Amino acid sequence: MSSLRVLPEFRSMVWGNSKINEIFQIELKEPVGEIWLLSGHPLYENRLEDGRKVNEFGQRLYNGKYQRFPILIKLVSTNQWLSVQVHPDDWFAKEFENEPWGKSEAWYFLSDGEFAICEDAEKMIELAENGKLDKMSEILTFVKVKRGTFVNIPAGTVHALGPNSTVIEVQQSSDLTYRIYDWGRPRETHLEKALKVSKNIGCSEIIYENAEKLVTNYFVMEVKSFSGTFSSDVSLPTISIPLEINKDFSATINFERTFLRNNLYVYDFLK
């Protein structure tokens, strides 16, 4: 097993949380909203401390099977509601977007926070067809969660991350996002595609409180405390990605053999 240091990318967003700027002394005009910790996506590809890019190293891990590193890891911190949105699945992404993957994702809350989902996609479609998406908030389910909660967001889940929420977000390496509603803000929406991919997904299906592990079809997120060496109990062929957030906000990532069911150890830094 080798240990590599990955250089993060701090991305300012109008909805970002200035607390992150203060904690890590990041001098940007706008507050930091996203920190890309591990990405091979064309929008931004992280570099390792030794100068190599993530995809250059990743090709060695999975023997060139994927065109880019298949998992993307971010830290996201908000000061307002993000847009109500939905992501396509793999089939839709390949068929209509010329992309290798859709976007299933999951959150691990590093702080207390909140989110919203639309559990009844048919009601949303009815609002859209009648030009009444300004009433979108009336059909959303709003959920407050405690720090340490996992929330699984499979493709097709209509969702929004709430204000004052700080999460580790693990996702397929995709930027396919269809915006449905943005709380009255004048931003572009993608209703035609959104309505095609939205599914009925209930709160009880996606929230995992007081859990040590979240297993999805694409990755496993697991919270562990350890010092020194560690061992994984994932029996499948795996890339293990223990992620330790350092105070200077570099990310120390350990890679373990060899394939793709990803096991992520998340360290809570907001103590």
> Is the per-residue pLDDT at 198 higher than 90?
yes
pLDDT tens, residue by residue, 223-250: 765 554 444 454 434 445 666 555 454 5
Alpha-carbon distance of 158 to 124, in angstroms, equals 9
In the prediction, which pLDDT does 30 show?
87
Query: Residue 57: which domain range?
Result: 2-266
In the prediction, which pLDDT does 196 show?
96
Active-site residue among 5, 179, 257, 261? 179
> Is the per-residue pLDDT at 206 higher than 50?
yes
Which residues lie below 8 Å from residue 262, measured CB to CB, with a gap of 6+? 70, 71, 170, 218, 219, 220, 238, 239, 240, 241
Contact, 265 vs 223, CB < 8 A? yes
179 is catalytic: yes
**How many distinct structural domains can be found in the chain?**
1
Residue 190 included in any domain: yes
Average the pLDDT over 184-200 and give the result.
Answer: 94
Domain with residue 77: its CATH number is 2.60.120.10
Q: Report the helix count and the strand count for the chain, using DSSP H and E.
A: 5, 21
Contact, 43 vs 175, CB < 8 A? yes
Residue 176 included in any domain: yes
Residue 222 included in any domain: yes
Alpha-carbon distance of 131 to 184, in angstroms, equals 14
Average the pLDDT over 251-257 and give the result.
Answer: 46
> Is the per-residue pLDDT at 168 higher than 70?
yes
Here the tokens at position 122 are 């048919």
In the prediction, which pLDDT does 170 show?
93
Average the pLDDT over 100-112 and give the result.
Answer: 94
Comparing CA positions, the residue from 154, 150, 155, 123 lying closest to residue 137 is 123
Handedness of CA 23, 28, 34, 38 (dihedral sign): negative
In the prediction, which pLDDT does 108 show?
92
Residue 94 zone, left/alpha/beta (φ > 0; ψ -120 to 50; rest): alpha
Average the pLDDT over 29-47 and give the result.
Answer: 90
Could you say which DSSP state residue 174 is in? -
Tell me the pLDDT band of 252, cut-offs 50, 70 and 90.
low
Residue 271 included in any domain: no
pTM to 2 decimals? 0.86
